[in-house]
Chain A
Amino acid sequence: MKRPQTQVAVLQAADAQEDRRIDEVADEADCKPEAATRAAFELEADGLLTVTEETVSHYELTEEGERYVRESLPEQDLYAAATDAGAKEGPVQMGQVIGASGLEGAAVDIALSNYARKAYGEIDSGEITANPDADPGADPEMLALEAVADGRVDDADADALDQLERRGLVDVREETVRSVRLTDDGVTALMEGVEVAETVDQLTPELLTSGEWEDVEFTEYNVEADAEDVRHGKEHILRQTANRVKDTLVGMGFQEMEGPHADAQFWINDCLFMPQDHPARTHWDQFALERPDEIRDLPEDLVERVRSAHREGVGPDGEGYHSPWTEDVARGMDLRGHTTSLSMRYLSGHQVGDLEPPQRYFSVEKVYRNDTLDPTHLLEFFQIEGWVMAEDLSVRDLMGTFTEFYEQFGITDIEFKPHYNPYTEPSFELFGTHPETGEIVEVGNSGIFRDEVLTPLGVECDVMAWGLSLERLLMLMYGFEDIRDVHGTLCDLELLRETEVMH
Chain B
Amino acid sequence: MPVVDVDPEELRYLTGHDEKDDEELKSDLFDLGLEFEGLTEDDEFQLEFAPDRLDRLSVEGVARSLRYHYGDDRGVYVPSTNSADWTIEVEDQPEERPYVTGAVVRGLDMSEEALESLIQLQEKLHATMGRKRAKGAIGVHDLTMLKGAAATEGEGKSITYTSADPDEATFVPLDADAEMTPNEVVASHETGQTYGDLVADFDRVPAIYDAIGLFSFPPVINGHRTEVSEDSRDLFIEMTGTDQWTIDRMCAIVCYALEARGGRVERVAVEYADDAPGEYAGRTLERPDFAVRTKTVTHDRIESILGVSLDEREVVDYAERAGLDATPTTGDDAAYEVEIPPYRVDVIHPLDLIDDIGRALGFNSLEPVYPDVSTVGGRHDRSRLEDAARDALVGLGFEDLLNFHMINEAENFERMNLSVPDDGDGSDAGTVGLDEPVTIQEPYSEDYTILRTWALPSIMMVLENNTHRSYPQDLAEIGLAAGLDDSENTGVAEHRTVAGALARTDASYEDAKARLQALADAFDTDLSTPSTTHPTFIDGRAAEVVLDGESVGVVGEIHPTVLVEHDLELPVAAFELRLDGLA
Q: A residues near B, CB below 8 A?
A: 229, 231-236, 238-239, 243, 246, 249-258, 260-264, 277, 279, 283-284, 287-297, 313-323, 333, 335, 358-360, 366, 368, 370, 373, 378-380, 388, 390, 392-397, 399-401, 403-404, 415-420, 425-428, 448, 450-452, 462, 486-494, 496-497
Please measure, in the bound complex, the distance between the C-alpha atom of A320 and the C-alpha atom of B480, giving whole angstroms.
37
Please tell me if the beta carbons of A233 and B395 are within 8 angstroms of each other in the complex. yes
Min Cβ gap B516→A in Å is 15
Which one, B363, B379, B398, B443, contacts A418 given CB within 8 A?
A: B363
Q: In the complex, which residues of chain A have a beta carbon less than 8 angstroms from the beta carbon of B371?
A: 388, 390, 393, 397, 400-401
Min Cβ gap B446→A in Å is 12
Please measure, in the bound complex, the distance between the C-alpha atom of A496 and the C-alpha atom of B470, giving whole angstroms.
13
Please tell me if the beta carbons of A235 and B394 are within 8 angstroms of each other in the complex. yes
Please tell me if the beta carbons of A234 and B451 are within 8 angstroms of each other in the complex. no
Q: Given A238-B402, A366-B405, are A335 and B440 neighbors across the interface (CB < 8 Å)?
A: yes
Which one, B401, B482, B490, contacts A491 given CB within 8 A?
A: B401
Please measure, in the bound complex, the distance between the C-alpha atom of A234 and the C-alpha atom of B376, giving whole angstroms.
30
Please tell me if the beta carbons of B295 and A317 are within 8 angstroms of each other in the complex. yes
Please tell me if the beta carbons of B375 and A359 are within 8 angstroms of each other in the complex. yes
Which one, A250, A394, A415, contacts B377 given CB within 8 A?
A: A250
User: Chain B, 450-469, contact with A by CB distance < 8 Å: what is the 0/1 string?
Assistant: 01000000100110011001
Please tell me if the beta carbons of B377 and A252 are within 8 angstroms of each other in the complex. yes
Stretch at the interface among B65-73, B166-174, B302-310: B302-310
Please tell me if the beta carbons of A486 and B402 are within 8 angstroms of each other in the complex. yes
Please tell me if the beta carbons of B379 and A246 are within 8 angstroms of each other in the complex. yes
Please tell me if the beta carbons of B400 and A239 are within 8 angstroms of each other in the complex. yes
Q: Given A401-B370, A418-B33, are A426 and B465 neighbors across the interface (CB < 8 Å)?
A: no
Q: In the complex, which residues of chain A have a beta carbon less than 8 angstroms from the beta carbon of B313?
A: none
Please measure, in the bound complex, the distance between the C-alpha atom of A253 and the C-alpha atom of B378, giving whole angstroms.
7
Please measure, in the bound complex, the distance between the C-alpha atom of A257 and the C-alpha atom of B380, giving whole angstroms.
7
Q: Given A368-B406, A395-B305, A418-B359, are A425 and B349 neighbors across the interface (CB < 8 Å)?
A: yes
Min Cβ gap B101→A in Å is 13
Stretch at the interface among B19-27, B188-196, B218-226, B382-390: B382-390
Please measure, in the bound complex, the distance between the C-alpha atom of A81 and the C-alpha atom of B466, giving whole angstroms.
98
Known: A395-B305, A496-B401. 20 other contacts (CB 8 A): A233-B394, A243-B387, A249-B377, A254-B377, A256-B383, A261-B494, A264-B490, A295-B490, A323-B243, A333-B490, A395-B366, A397-B307, A400-B371, A416-B363, A418-B355, A419-B33, A426-B305, A491-B401, A492-B469, A496-B399
Q: Which residue among B354, B402, B461 has the maximum number of chain A CB atoms within 10 Å of its CB?
A: B402
Size of chain B's interface in residues, with CB distance under 8 A? 96
**Does chain A have a CB within 8 A of B346?**
yes
Selected A-B contacts with CB under 8 Å, 21 pairs: A233-B393, A235-B390, A236-B402, A246-B383, A252-B377, A254-B375, A255-B377, A255-B380, A260-B490, A277-B135, A313-B349, A314-B349, A315-B350, A317-B349, A319-B349, A373-B445, A379-B445, A379-B448, A416-B364, A425-B349, A489-B404
Tell me if B's interface is mostly helix, strand, loop or mixed.
Answer: loop
Please tell me if the beta carbons of A426 and B397 are within 8 angstroms of each other in the complex. no
Please tell me if the beta carbons of B350 and A317 are within 8 angstroms of each other in the complex. yes
User: Chain B, 341-356, contact with A by CB distance < 8 Å: what is the 0/1 string?
Assistant: 0000010111110110
Q: In the complex, which residues of chain A have a beta carbon less than 8 angstroms from the beta carbon of B480?
A: 261, 366
Please measure, in the bound complex, the distance between the C-alpha atom of A429 and the C-alpha atom of B339, giving whole angstroms.
28
Min Cβ gap B193→A in Å is 20
Please tell me if the beta carbons of A319 and B441 are within 8 angstroms of each other in the complex. no
Min Cβ gap B344→A in Å is 11
Please measure, in the bound complex, the distance between the C-alpha atom of A335 and the C-alpha atom of B387, giving whole angstroms.
24
Please measure, in the bound complex, the distance between the C-alpha atom of A373 and the C-alpha atom of B350, giving whole angstroms.
40
Please tell me if the beta carbons of A239 and B376 are within 8 angstroms of each other in the complex. no
Q: In the complex, which residues of chain B have a beta carbon less than 8 angstroms from the beta carbon of A491?
A: 401-403, 462, 465
Please measure, in the bound complex, the distance between the C-alpha atom of A287 and the C-alpha atom of B390, giving whole angstroms.
29
**Does chain A have a CB within 8 A of B417?**
no
Q: In the complex, which residues of chain A have a beta carbon less than 8 angstroms from the beta carbon of B469?
A: 492-494
Please measure, in the bound complex, the distance between the C-alpha atom of A496 and the C-alpha atom of B399, giving whole angstroms.
8
Please tell me if the beta carbons of A425 and B465 are within 8 angstroms of each other in the complex. no
Min Cβ gap A485→B in Å is 11
Please tell me if the beta carbons of B377 and A296 are within 8 angstroms of each other in the complex. no
Which one, B295, B350, B378, B402, contacts A487 given CB within 8 A?
A: B402
Min Cβ gap B376→A in Å is 6
Please tell me if the beta carbons of A234 and B400 are within 8 angstroms of each other in the complex. yes
Q: In the complex, which residues of chain A have a beta carbon less than 8 angstroms from the beta carbon of B350?
A: 315, 317-318
Q: In the complex, which residues of chain B have a beta carbon less than 8 angstroms from the beta carbon of A320?
A: 348
Which one, B243, B305, B370, B406, contacts A379 given CB within 8 A?
A: B406
**Does chain A have a CB within 8 A of B474?**
yes
Which one, A283, A295, A370, A425, contacts B491 given CB within 8 A?
A: A295
Please measure, in the bound complex, the distance between the C-alpha atom of A319 and the C-alpha atom of B403, giving whole angstroms.
44
Please tell me if the beta carbons of B397 and A233 are within 8 angstroms of each other in the complex. yes
Q: In the complex, which residues of chain B have a beta carbon less than 8 angstroms from the beta carbon of A262?
A: 438, 451, 482, 490, 492, 494
